[in-house]
Amino acid sequence: MKLRGLDWLIIFVKSVVSALLLMLFAIGLLLLTEVRFHTVNWLKEIEYIVTHDVWDVVIVVGAMVLLWLWLIHFFYERALLAVIASQIGELRHHILTPDATGLDQQIRVKRLRPMVENVNGLFTAAQTAMTEEREIERSKDEMIANVSHDLRTPLTSILGYLGLVKNNPGNNLSKQDITKYTNTAFAKAEQMRSLVEDLFDYTQVAQVDFKLRWAPLDLTAMLNQLAVNYELEAEDKAVVITAITNQTSIQMVGDPDRLARVFMNLISNALKYGDGATFIRLTAKVLPDNQVEVRVQNNGEQIPEDALSRLFDRFYRVESSRNLKTGGTGLGLAIVSGIVDAHGGTIRVESDAQMTSFIVRLPMEPTQ
């Protein structure tokens, strides 16, 4: 942090003036030390004191020099404070600038460094808060747009097919056509219901005060039961679903309903998007660090590399268009990620030509 030329000039003028005042003050002190004057002229008296009272002169002059140096340092600090105050006033115009760095921390006065660091900390925090606020606004607008799109598409179909049935005064439509149209409208209504339910679940998971209902559970039994529940649906797609654990019973503490939702979403995704898969495998094992690892694997089509990092973003779909051909809402994996995070765990995905694996790690007991 550098001072301007005008700042140095002001410091110089103040230093000269203070030096003159201190000189007069020193002369006054030396004269006061004398019990009686030895001359009739104060100038000659000063000469006498300098000649006969050397130690008094040294002490007074030394004290004045130290005081003068302290004053110079004080003037320098004041000038720096003025510059810092000016820069702080300018910082508010740069809060929204991503590459703004705050105050210059190269400052010679050690006593002012903590203040500069604190100001920079507040500036960085303000930048982060503003960035997060803009991201929240952008995310909210994006969410509203996505929900509007995904609701409008099936709603348009519902109104269209029901309109054909309603506007049929002459009974020109056959019973088969009416059944077809009403079934299509019902299927679209189911898509809307699924989206609303997923949206409700996501808003719950995304809340700051989202709370889990902790309870003991048997993870092995849960995975076995889920494999049985999806057995018929898997058979319809010529897929074999199995559950394999390295222990007959894995006891842990978590939210049973929420964890079941996690694995149900992962299994459903494997059935919907694992094109060409012949099996879905659920595996679980206890790790040495008091964690359990669950893998939901299938040998279906590989997930594109550029999609792996975005799979858990809300409303993201690997499909090239938002045509709902698989009936997904784009919220399932975002819900999964939120529930796993709430348990203090992690989730990641690995995919290659042979295998796609969703890997969930959870603590055996709640983390403090």
Hey, what amino acid is at 10?
Answer: I
Per-residue pLDDT tens digits of the chain, which is 368 residues long? 577 788 888 889 989 999 999 888 888 887 777 767 666 677 777 777 777 778 888 888 899 999 999 999 888 888 877 777 777 777 776 666 666 666 665 666 666 667 777 777 777 777 778 877 887 777 777 777 777 877 888 888 889 888 888 887 667 788 888 888 899 899 888 878 878 887 888 888 877 678 889 999 999 999 999 999 999 999 999 999 999 987 788 999 999 999 999 999 999 989 988 888 999 999 999 998 899 999 999 998 888 888 888 888 877 666 543 444 555 567 888 889 999 999 999 999 999 889 999 999 999 988 76
Cα separations (Å) of 169 from 164, 166, 180, 183, 185? Answer: 10, 8, 18, 20, 20
Distance from chain centroid for Cα 360 = 21
Structure tokens of 285?
């094992």
